[in-house]
Amino acid sequence: ESGEVKLDLQPTNLVEVVEEICQIMEHQAAQLGVTISCDRSGISHPVVMASSLHLKRLIMNIASNAVKYNKPGGAVRVTCSEHAQEGGAATYRFVIADTGIGMSSDFQNRVFDPFSREQRKDAEHVTGTGLGTVIAKQLAELMDGDLVYESRFGEGTVCTITLPLTIDFEASSTLNEHHAHDRATLAGMNILLAEDNDLNREIALFILTEAGAKVTCADDGFKALGAFEQAEAGTFDLILMDIMMPNMNGYEATRAIRSLSREDARTIPIVAMSANAFTEDKVRCREAGMDGHLTKPIDSDKLIDALAKIMAAKEG
């Protein structure tokens, strides 16, 4: 409010900004049992002129609240997309969506008031000054943008940050060329995806289909086993198996598939997806008959590269 904040506009990679924020938030999210993921696939021109420090602070303030005011087993998704390019600029939209406790309609009317915090029993564990959202709103407006909330009490909140940013076309073009050249493809693959969390399943499905794969989904281990049994031998090229699922977990489903009297049941690659990244968890996956382990939240590039390498090794 004093007018002392000065934006230092420099070439800034928005993909790196979003990824860095998600990585920083992962530790806090894991402690609260919350899954955090990022989607930056909707960016055509990733390098823009922006004040990196203030942009990170703006998004971080909102993402931090999305984690703090979440529920155990909840999720936060950070999305960045590019819209309405005109001349040398484009409108970029950052969406932070959570499955948390939400805000009452009364509090939504004063969410941007300084030091304003909603007093609720399900948020007694949360500490803070009540300034994070206010500062984020002011930073968005300082960048000639806007910040708005949509929230449902008890169900979650979606915050949308809209910013007009000048594109660094040369740097963006170079990055996109490198990305297109380096990125693996899953074209022609038929994947069985076992994941009980709706948001995680939606994210994985989007990543896999965008990379060219055909995907069959199952929301627990028992259904994954059934889908594999009912399909003709050789139908699936690979199975992505979540570990913590109801009815039958990933370890049990993998052992059941490996015990089937079919040649492809013994040879099909099965890759674990788990928030646990300790050595003992990876060893347990191997002992159950899995071929690899991917740590949540799933990174799109790492997922595609890992699956492509597994398939190349199998075919080789």
In-domain check, residue 5: no
Q: What is the mean pLDDT of the chain?
A: 84
Q: Are residues 35 and 171 in the same domain?
A: yes
Does pLDDT of 178 surpass 60? no
In-domain check, residue 3: no
CA distance 300 to 15: 12
The residue segments making up the domain with residue 160 are 10-176
The pairing of beta strand 214-218 with beta strand 146-152? unpaired
CA distance 276 to 295: 7
Residue 245 structure tokens: 């699922």
CA distance 266 to 256: 11
User: How many separate domains does the chain show?
Assistant: 2
Does pLDDT of 35 surpass 90? no
Which of 73-82, 141-150, 226-235, 297-306 has the weakest average pLDDT? 297-306
Q: Are residues 201 and 274 in the same domain?
A: yes
CA distance 229 to 265: 9
| pLDDT tens digit sequence for 190-218 | 999 999 988 888 888 988 988 889 999 99
Q: Are residues 221 and 133 in the same domain?
A: no
In-domain check, residue 131: yes
| pLDDT tens digit sequence for 93-102 | 999 999 988 8
Q: pLDDT tier at 104 (50, 70, 90 boundaries)?
A: confident
Q: Which of 65-79, 141-155, 251-265 is modeled with the greatest confidence?
A: 251-265
Q: What is the pLDDT of residue 122?
A: 47
Q: Are residues 70 and 199 in the same domain?
A: no
In-domain check, residue 1: no
Q: What is the pLDDT of residue 129?
A: 44
Q: Are residues 235 and 261 in the same domain?
A: yes
SS3 of 126, please? coil
Concatenated DSSP letters of 206-238: HHHHHTT-EEEEESSHHHHHHHHHHSPTT--SE
Q: Are residues 83 and 208 in the same domain?
A: no
Q: Are residues 65 and 164 in the same domain?
A: yes
In-domain check, residue 235: yes
Q: Are residues 202 and 146 in the same domain?
A: no
Q: Are residues 82 and 25 in the same domain?
A: yes
Last residue of some domain: 154, 176, 198?
176
Last residue of some domain: 152, 176, 200?
176
Q: Could you say which DSSP state residue 299 is in?
A: P
Counts for the chain of helices (H) and strands (E), in that order: 11, 12
Residue 126 structure tokens: 């949360």
In-domain check, residue 310: yes
Does pLDDT of 127 surpass 50? no
Q: Are residues 216 and 136 in the same domain?
A: no
For residue 7, with 0-12 CB atoms within 10 Å meaning exposed, 13-18 middle and 19 or more buried, which class applies? middle
CA distance 195 to 6: 46
Q: Which amino acid is at 202?
A: E
The pairing of beta strand 35-42 with beta strand 146-152? unpaired
